[in-house]
Amino acid sequence: MSADGHTRPAWGNPVLGVVLALTALALLWLHRAEWEWHDPGASRWLAAGLVLLAWVGFTAAIALRRRGMRALRVDVSTAWPEDALLVVFASQTGTAEQWALQTMRSLEQAGMAARLQAMGDLNDVALMQARRVLFLVSTTGEGDAPDGASGFVTRWMQAGLSLGHLRYGLLALGDRDYANFCGFGRELRHWLQHNGATPLFDTVEVDNGDPAALRHWQHHLARLSGVTEMPDWERPDYQRWQLVERQWLNPGSVGGPCFHLALRPLEGMAEWQAGDLVEIGPRHAASAVEEWLARTSLVAGELVSHQGRTDTLGEWLAASHLPPSDEVPSLTAAALVGSLQALPHREYSIASLPSDGTLQLLVRRVQREDGSAGVGSGWLTEHAPLGATIALRIRGNASFRVPASDAPLILIGNGTGLAGLRALLKARIAAGYRRNWLLFGERQQAHDFHHRAEIEQWLQEGQLERLDLAWSRDGTTRVYVQDRLRGHADLLRDWVGQGATVCVCGSLDGMAPGVDAVLREVLGDEATERLREDGRYRRDVY
């Protein structure tokens, strides 16, 4: 079975394993009876009994599995906390159900109320009661819903519901070997939006269990819960890179410090495409590890081997959650390392092309309530010295690629979202395509016009046909990038009519919904959805 959806042999299914084992046992006894006893009648009775035993095992396995999952599901007939998230799954072989269970547990560990529900048991009462729902759905056959969800499709998706109150997230599992990739997930998204539901974040599509896409789902869960230290379900396979450049771009800004970073691989060559992302393995500041060790009797330089890796205790601690120091006085260094939990990855849009010679990022330093820097942004922009080794993994982002034609391109973003747009622009310019329109918003023109000289040169040389800027803290009126887009409604319709693709990168709160609202206001809901379905409305928002 591939990607929990398309019909292929699923030898790994535990229920099927029970059936196969018992059936094989029945056949073995059947053969032995005929060989030893030479009594076909006796062998038939024995075979019938063992087949019955196999059936009992099969039904018992299903019953136990369902009983275990049912205990975790919400009773839709009873009230539950208004702020609770409903986690809904539609699974053909169990994969989507497993990820849904992991999703619910991660949210609960982050202190959120969450409930699990099979889509087949979901009704309009639950949908009207819930305020936030996370859907995890597979596709079976050539774009169909899983068998267990067919009742929901027939009963509710063929009719209209008023879902204007509902905010949702969607994880769609599929297999690109099939023509209608994530067909049911895309159908569900269209139905939700057509009935007024609002996405919490962009749909995450998973090709054949791609672990990078699943980590991206975890990234959204962390942001949704507000617990950025939510552990990765599966740690990325990082490579070693070197930090070779760091430049503070906006000194004097009323916004947080924003930095241009450049990195090079320490081993081999690296390739990526415009629109791709990186996953960074963050580390604590050296001073934080030293202060933690000072409260224990442990030594930073002690070598510890764990799971095939040998490193100093200080190195293990730097990349892990630091437990309360008063809980480890009796632990050996080896026991401590065995109990550590790695810091979760951070995601950033790549702002350059391989031809630039370095992988470049645009990172804003996050400031916590106590004034300290966030773990990920603090490591990259403050604590890591130039020349430091950075744990980094490139992740392809096929849904945010540059169009492979000379049709117009509209680029819209704010803040550090300029990173992804800059890479797309570089790719377009390298291909000789000049029909590019950039709309960018930040706080203050004097301080926050990131990569200003480069952008103005592109405009002067005609590689950027149009540039519209929005500075929210200049003047008495707050002006945002979506306001600039609305102010050029006729031009927007004209460019889209000429086949333009719209790419949006930046803040999920405020900017991205604001731009989406303007697109729907100017172009209409159906036209905007067609753009999305045709791959002409692409987003990398966070």
* CATH number, domain with residue 352: 2.40.30.10
Average pLDDT over residues 75-80: 47
The answer to whether 501 and 490 have CB atoms below 8 angstroms apart is no
Whether residues 248 and 379 share a domain: the answer is yes
Please determine, for residue 471, whether its predicted confidence score (pLDDT) is greater than 60.
yes
* Domain assignment present for 47: yes
Of 542 and 491, more confident: 491
Average pLDDT over residues 361-366: 96
The answer to whether 243 and 358 have CB atoms below 8 angstroms apart is no
* Domain assignment present for 422: yes
* Domain assignment present for 1: no
Whether residues 514 and 405 share a domain: the answer is yes
Please determine, for residue 476, whether its predicted confidence score (pLDDT) is greater than 90.
no
Average pLDDT over residues 98-123: 92
- Choose one of 333, 363, 395: the last residue of a domain: 395
Please determine, for residue 496, whether its predicted confidence score (pLDDT) is greater than 90.
yes
Query: What confidence score (pLDDT) does residue 159 get?
Result: 79
The answer to whether 173 and 3 have CB atoms below 8 angstroms apart is yes
User: What is the maximum alpha-carbon separation in the chain?
Assistant: 99
* Domain assignment present for 261: yes
Of 194 and 73, more confident: 194
Whether residues 410 and 536 share a domain: the answer is yes
In the chain, the amino acid numbered 10 is A
* Domain assignment present for 234: no
- Choose one of 167, 202, 225: the last residue of a domain: 225
Average pLDDT over residues 206-226: 88
Query: What confidence score (pLDDT) does residue 80 get?
Result: 55
Domain of 521 in residue numbering reads as 398-541
Query: What confidence score (pLDDT) does residue 532 get?
Result: 87
Query: What confidence score (pLDDT) does residue 542 get?
Result: 85
Query: What confidence score (pLDDT) does residue 365 get?
Result: 96
Please determine, for residue 20, whether its predicted confidence score (pLDDT) is greater than 50.
no
pLDDT digits (tens, 9 = 90+) for 40-75: 454 454 444 444 444 444 444 444 444 444 434 444
> How many domains does the chain contain in total?
4
Query: What confidence score (pLDDT) does residue 442 get?
Result: 98
CA Rg value for the chain: 27
Whether residues 95 and 139 share a domain: the answer is yes
Query: What confidence score (pLDDT) does residue 6 get?
Result: 43
Whether residues 22 and 126 share a domain: the answer is no
Q: The domain that contains 417 carries what CATH number?
A: 3.40.50.80
- For residue 381 the two structure tokens come to 């922009």
Query: What confidence score (pLDDT) does residue 165 get?
Result: 92
Altogether, the residues listed in the chain come to a count of: 542
Spatial separation of the C-alpha atoms in residues 236 and 56, rounded to whole Å: 42
**Mean of all residue pLDDT scores within the chain:** 85
Counting residues of the chain whose pLDDT is more than 70, the rounded percentage is: 85
Please determine, for residue 10, whether its predicted confidence score (pLDDT) is greater than 80.
no
Whether residues 109 and 97 share a domain: the answer is yes
* Domain assignment present for 49: yes
Please determine, for residue 127, whether its predicted confidence score (pLDDT) is greater than 70.
yes
Please determine, for residue 78, whether its predicted confidence score (pLDDT) is greater than 60.
no
Other CB atoms within a 10 A radius of the CB of residue 419 amount to 26
Spatial separation of the C-alpha atoms in residues 275 and 424, rounded to whole Å: 6
Query: Considering only CA atoms, which of 441, 459, 458, 438 is closest in space to residue 449?
Result: 441
Q: The domain that contains 123 carries what CATH number?
A: 3.40.50.360
Average pLDDT over residues 386-392: 97
Whether residues 217 and 285 share a domain: the answer is no
* Domain assignment present for 200: yes
Whether residues 391 and 402 share a domain: the answer is no
Query: What confidence score (pLDDT) does residue 64 get?
Result: 42
pLDDT digits (tens, 9 = 90+) for 419-437: 999 999 999 999 999 999 9
Please determine, for residue 196, whether its predicted confidence score (pLDDT) is greater than 50.
yes
Query: What confidence score (pLDDT) does residue 81 get?
Result: 61
Whether residues 65 and 115 share a domain: the answer is no
Average pLDDT over residues 356-385: 94
Residue bearing tokens 């401590």: 336
Counting residues of the chain whose pLDDT is more than 90, the rounded percentage is: 61
Q: 535 — phi, psi (to 5°)?
A: 75, 20
Please determine, for residue 245, whether its predicted confidence score (pLDDT) is greater than 80.
yes
Other CB atoms within a 10 A radius of the CB of residue 455 amount to 20
Query: What confidence score (pLDDT) does residue 403 get?
Result: 86
Query: What confidence score (pLDDT) does residue 96 get?
Result: 92
* Domain assignment present for 139: yes
467: left (phi over 0), alpha (psi -120 to 50) or beta: beta
Whether residues 382 and 422 share a domain: the answer is no
Please determine, for residue 519, whether its predicted confidence score (pLDDT) is greater than 90.
yes
Query: What confidence score (pLDDT) does residue 179 get?
Result: 80
Whether residues 179 and 157 share a domain: the answer is yes
**Four-point Cα dihedral 214, 220, 221, 224, nearest 10:** -170
Of the pLDDT bands very low, low, confident and very high (cuts 50, 70, 90), residue 94 is: confident
Average pLDDT over residues 501-528: 94
Whether residues 387 and 269 share a domain: the answer is yes
- Choose one of 195, 225, 255: the last residue of a domain: 225
Please determine, for residue 323, whether its predicted confidence score (pLDDT) is greater than 80.
yes
Of the pLDDT bands very low, low, confident and very high (cuts 50, 70, 90), residue 331 is: confident
Of the pLDDT bands very low, low, confident and very high (cuts 50, 70, 90), residue 223 is: confident
Query: Considering only CA atoms, which of 132, 146, 204 is closest in space to residue 542?
Result: 204
Please determine, for residue 378, whether its predicted confidence score (pLDDT) is greater than 70.
yes
